[in-house]
Amino acid sequence: MNKKYVMSLSFVIIVILVGAFFLLKLDKHPQTVSQVSSDHHRVAPLPKEITITLSKTGFSPSTVTIKVGSAIRWVNKSGTQETVNSDNYPTNQLHRELNFGIFNNNSSVVHTFTKTGTYGYHNQLNHTQEGKIIVEN
């Protein structure tokens, strides 16, 4: 083979390898699209998460209105172990999915609401600390 042909072939191979490297690198770090919409296609927004803080004085905010599919995260900032439990005190039977029990200071519990309704809850260790989640369509 002549030297010119070998150099041209080597150059083509190098270009292909460099191109493949960049394509593979791009595949490993795909860009994230949070929401895409057009006249023909709509992508639903990601579920929203609301944070409720439990302090020594109670839940803040104590009443929250959200949409179906949204999540509530209760964060314990009371300095001690606390609870999130469904109403009615002391049986906690109205919405059993909210009976998280004791969770430590600086930790959290989360629940995604999939049905409309009003969900009352309280701190079982101090039942005067109450809250309410209103879930709408």
Tell me: the pLDDT tens digits for 48-103?
899 999 999 999 999 999 999 999 999 999 999 999 999 999 998 999 999 998 99
Mean pLDDT over residues 10-32, rounded? 52
pLDDT level of residue 45 (50, 70, 90 thresholds)? low
Instruction: Return contacts of 79-85, CB within 8 angstroms, 24+ apart.
Output: 79/105, 80/105, 81/105, 81/125, 82/54, 82/123, 82/125, 82/126, 83/123, 83/124, 83/125, 84/54, 84/109, 84/121, 84/123, 85/121, 85/122, 85/123, 85/124
Architecture per CATH, domain 49-136, reads as Sandwich (2.60)
Q: Which of 13-27, 66-80, 100-114, 119-133 has the lowest mean pLDDT?
A: 13-27
